[in-house]
Amino acid sequence: ALCYAELGTMITKSGGEYPYLMEAFGSVIAYLYSWSTIMVLKPSSFAIIALSFAEYASTPFYPGCTPPIVVTKCLAAVCILVIVLVNCLSVKLASYVQNFFTAAKLLIILVIVVAGIVLLAQGNTENLSNPFEGASTSFGSIGLAFYNGLWAYDGWNQLNFITEELENPYR
């Protein structure tokens, strides 16, 4: 993250990684990266998020079993269409929707943390007695855990897409 902050102040062009790759390796590498990002990385990431949302949102309607894959895929498609529609209608509306869901996410995290503290204060510590029981210690499992953790924190490079719009980046 600090490397991106430094790059953003040194190469003050918008576009995220594209201007950095253009400066370092030339136009072919920068183009290939941008093409793969637009055609593969961003859409697949969006699809994974939509499918995860759809699975969690449809699970309460199918107690005791997993939701049918058709339902999950259709709900994910509707989710993507709604997000596209909101973004096409108005930037201000998209900003309000994003702020609403950010506030909701923070509220849910706060509820989970407070509930955990309350349960710990009540003495519910049986899950802490042997926390790694049944855990896999294979390299693949550890690698997957790191990958999921890094994917959850993805987004730290997004500010560099608007570097040119910053008024005083050295501040």
What pLDDT, on the 0 to 100 scale, is given for residue 153?
Answer: 74
Residue 152's pLDDT is what?
75
Entry pTM: 0.72
CA 116 – CA 118 distance, rounded (Å) = 5
Estimate to the nearest angstrom the gap between the alpha carbon of 130 and the chain centroid: 31
pLDDT at 122: 94
Question: What is the three-class DSSP state of 104?
Answer: helix
pLDDT for position 166 = 67
Regions in the chain scoring below 50 on pLDDT: none
SS3 14: coil
Within 10 angstroms of residue 4's Cβ, the number of other Cβ atoms is 17
- Helix 27-36 and helix 17-25, axial crossing angle in degrees, nearest 10: 150
pLDDT in tens, 73-85: 999 999 999 999 9
Domain spans, the chain: 2-89+130-165
